[in-house]
């Protein structure tokens, strides 16, 4: 029976055999572990991922306007979405982390996983070029792409609240961080959304500040209208 090495397993999960394995090693090295680390690759990968996703949406939704396409891309490339793909590829188990990040569970943290995924995309791009990288990477997003309502991705709560206020010529909301608790790899944030006109405020909780603000905005919308999603 053939023995499957860690490199073979990772190759099969990613779907690419690296001509230069050092690129993959760098992509999976967090800055806490020293140099060379993956921050420069992450920068490049962010641009490549955005281009691939934008191109896919542009081709799939020929009648969607810029706003719809922008919201859909934001949903697909947000930190939590990229981290979910990284987990599916089992990147966390293969990250090289410094002692502090390793002890605090950095291999489970969304931000580190999302950055590693973007770095891996850049590594594939540098190793094999645009077309080969696109063939490897786009299938990672297929499930999320298929799950989007065709041409009409739902607006997030902060956007819906802003539009509700602007339509009535009311001041925009203010958001503030109320509390932050928990270990680095399992933080809980509480944010408050406050309106001056009408005078309404509500708190929301989430695993990131952004998600907490979204929850707070959704709670305010629930107070403003019984069915805010269907104005």
- Return the H-helix or E-strand segment holding 71: helix 66-77
In this structure, of 20-34, 49-63, 124-138, 152-166, the range with the lowest mean pLDDT score is: 152-166
Q: Distances in Å between the alpha carbon of 16 and those of 19, 47, 121, 225?
A: 9, 20, 10, 50
Nearest by Cα to 117 from 18, 219, 30, 207: 30
Look-up: residue for tokens 């809980």?
188
Strand (E) or helix (H) holding 201: strand 200-206
Claim to verify: residue 35 and residue 93 sit in the same structural domain:
yes
User: Same domain, yes or no, for 65 and 37?
Assistant: yes
Give Cα 223 to chain centroid, integer Å. Answer: 29
Q: Say whether both 143 and 174 belong to one domain.
A: no
pLDDT at 85 over 90: yes
State pLDDT tens for residues 173-223.
999 999 998 877 678 899 999 999 889 999 999 888 888 998 999 899 988
- On whether residue 95 sits in a domain, the answer given is yes
Q: Are both 139 and 38 inside the same structural domain?
A: yes
User: pTM, whole model, 2 decimals?
Assistant: 0.66
How confident is residue 226, by pLDDT bands cut at 50, 70 and 90?
Answer: low
Q: Does one domain contain both 55 and 110?
A: yes
Q: In the prediction, which pLDDT does 68 show?
A: 84
pLDDT value at 24 more than 80: yes
Shared-domain flag, residues 99 and 170 = no
Out of 6-10, 51-55, 205-209, which region has the weakest mean confidence (pLDDT)?
Answer: 6-10
Name which residue leads in pLDDT, 193 or 229. 193
Domain match, 14 and 57 both: yes
Quote the tokens at residue 11. 């190759």
Residues with catalytic roles: 46, 118
108 and 25, same domain (yes or no): yes
In a domain, 143, yes or no: yes
What CATH number does residue 206 fall under? 3.30.160.20
Cα 105 from chain centroid (whole Å): 19
Domain that holds residue 116: 6-147
Residue 72 CA to chain centroid, in angstroms? 12
* Residue pair 96/28 in contact by the 8 Å Cβ criterion: yes
Residue 208 covered by a domain: yes
CATH code of 93's domain: 1.10.1520.10
- 182 and 122 within one domain: no
106 and 68 fall within a common domain: yes
Could you give the number of structural domains in the chain? 2
């Amino acid at each position: 029976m053939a023995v499957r090495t860690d490199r073979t397993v990772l190759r099969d999960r990613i779907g690419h055999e690296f001509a230069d394995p050092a690129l993959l090693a760098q992509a999976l090295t967090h800055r806490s572990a020293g140099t060379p680390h993956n921050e420069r690759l992450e920068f490049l990968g962010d641009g490549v991922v955005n281009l691939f996703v934008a191109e896919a949406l542009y081709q799939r939704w020929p009648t969607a306007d810029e706003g719809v396409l922008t919201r859909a891309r934001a949903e697909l490339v947000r930190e939590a979405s990229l981290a979910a793909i990284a987990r599916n590829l089992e990147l966390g188990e293969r990250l090289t982390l410094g002692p502090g990040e390793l002890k605090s569970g950095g291999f489970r943290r969304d931000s580190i996983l999302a950055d590693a995924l973007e770095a891996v995309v850049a590594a594939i791009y540098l190793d094999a070029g645009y077309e080969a990288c696109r063939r490897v990477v786009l299938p990672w997003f297929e499930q999320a792409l298929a799950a989007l309502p065709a041409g009409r991705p739902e607006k997030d709560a902060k956007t819906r609240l802003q539009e509700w206020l602007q339509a009535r010529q009311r001041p925009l909301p203010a958001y503030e961080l109320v509390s932050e608790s928990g270990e680095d790899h399992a933080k809980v944030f509480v944010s408050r959304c406050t309106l001056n006109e009408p005078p309404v405020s509500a708190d929301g909780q989430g695993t990131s500040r952004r998600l907490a603000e979204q929850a707070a905005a959704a709670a305010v919308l629930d107070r403003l209208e019984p069915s805010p999603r269907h104005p």
